[in-house]
Amino acid sequence: MSGLILPRRQLLARAGGLVAAAGALPILSGCDAISQAPAVRKILSMGEEMNRASQRALMDRDALAREFTAADLSPIFRSNGTKLPAGDAYAAHVATAFANWRVAVTGLVAQPLSLSMADIRAMPQRTQITRHDCVEGWSAIGGWTGPQLGRILEAAKVKDSARYIVFRCADRIGDALYYESCDMIDALHPQTILAWALNNQLLPIANGAPLRLRIERQLGYKHAKYLTGIEAVASLDGIGAGKGGFWEDRIDYEWYAGI
Ligand SMILES: Nc1nc2c(c(=O)[nH]1)N[C@H]1C(S)=C(S)[C@@H](COP(=O)(O)O)O[C@H]1N2
Ligand SMILES: [Mo]
């Protein structure tokens, strides 16, 4: 696992409870006289309990998904959902080996980006062997390589006001483009990467070529394939039907699919 510690901390601090919890401590220790009163002591200890609980919650969200070894790889990593996006535009990208594919990084960023696959491969890379769990009842272990999403958000200078990251895809199911989203804790998780390789080979079309999300603390449908855009937003209102994902908008799949 490489780098990202400092920016990740700073970004995470904005994302949630850490700042509030840390900010409360100096105030507490500066009021020793008042804190001797039993009622106040009780309230203060309740506060500490709550700080611990929120920190625990944050740490759990932060924990790494299990990583496996090459010996554990599934012989075939099956495909699910779209296996080949329809249309001439995608076919043209296939014909040119995705040389002109671009991933737009937009929304609440100070530095919007348009990344080529060469740009993505030139960044520091992470490889991880993890288990994919689909709600339809199958799992597979695969090895994924690509840059951490956190690095890309850092390069795009994501703003403090960003609370969610939306992932846009090239494929339609019916009339609608597939999309997904996550909060900043998952976006900045060290195992959240944009993968362009599976088992040390270029990502197969069926698995999301040229680029797909791996968001290892979430169920399969969150792992958006055929990525065309990454958008930082303050709210999911007005995106699709507002529930944060293609399936969330249509059936009873939860937006938060943490595992
Ligand atoms: N763009 C896009 N992403 C997608 C899907 C899809 O149909 N389109 N299916 C999802 C589901 S339900 C699963 S289980 C995984 C399947 O990934 P795989 O095809 O590599 O097995 O991709 C997810 N991401
Ligand atoms: Mo799935």
Greater pLDDT, 63 or 10: 63
- Mean pLDDT of all residues in 32-37: 49
**Pocket lining: 190 vs ligand 1, CB cutoff 6 Å:** no
Does 51 have pLDDT greater than 70? no
CA distance 61 to 215: 12
Give 137-188 as a DSSP string. Answer: TEEEEEEEEE-BHHHHHHHTTB-TT--EEEEEEEEEETTEEEEEEEEHHHHT
Measure 223 CA to ligand 2 centroid, in angstroms: 9
Measure 53 CA to ligand 1 centroid, in angstroms: 34
For ligand 1, what atom is nearest to the CA of residue 81? Answer: 7
The answer to whether 64 and 214 have CB atoms below 8 angstroms apart is no
CA distances for 133 relative to 136, 184, 196, 217, 258, angstroms: 9, 22, 19, 10, 11
Alpha-carbon 132 to chain mean position: 14
Query: What pairs with residue 152 in β-bridges?
Result: none
Tell me the ligand closest to 86's alpha carbon: 1
Tell me the ligand closest to 169's alpha carbon: 1
Helices and strands of the chain, counted as H and E runs:
8, 11
CA distance 217 to 229: 21
Q: Tokens representing 2?
A: 């490489």
Condensed to tens digits (0 to 9), the pLDDT of residues 107-141 reads: 999 999 999 999 999 999 999 999 999 999 999 99
Give the residue among 103, 83, 114 at the shortest CA–CA distance from 213: 103
User: Ligand 1 atom 12: the closest Cα is on which residue?
Assistant: 221
Q: Tokens representing 125?
A: 């890379």
**Pocket lining: 78 vs ligand 1, CB cutoff 6 Å:** yes
- 34: confidence class by pLDDT, cuts 50, 70, 90: very low
**Within 78-127, where are the H helices?**
88-95, 117-122
Tell me the ligand closest to 132's alpha carbon: 1
CA distance 160 to 167: 19
- The one-character DSSP state at 136 is T
3-class secondary-structure state, position 193: strand
Condensed to tens digits (0 to 9), the pLDDT of residues 164-197 reads: 999 999 999 999 999 999 999 999 999 999 999 9
Q: Which helix (H) or strand (E) holds 13?
A: helix 5-15
Collect residues with CB below 5 Å from ion ligand 2.
Answer: 134, 220-221
Measure 14 CA to ligand 2 centroid, in angstroms: 31
Condensed to tens digits (0 to 9), the pLDDT of residues 53-104 reads: 666 565 689 999 999 999 999 999 999 999 999 999 999 999 999 999 999 9
**Pocket lining: 218 vs ligand 1, CB cutoff 6 Å:** no
- 8: confidence class by pLDDT, cuts 50, 70, 90: very low
Condensed to tens digits (0 to 9), the pLDDT of residues 204-244 reads: 999 999 999 999 999 999 999 999 999 999 999 999 999 99
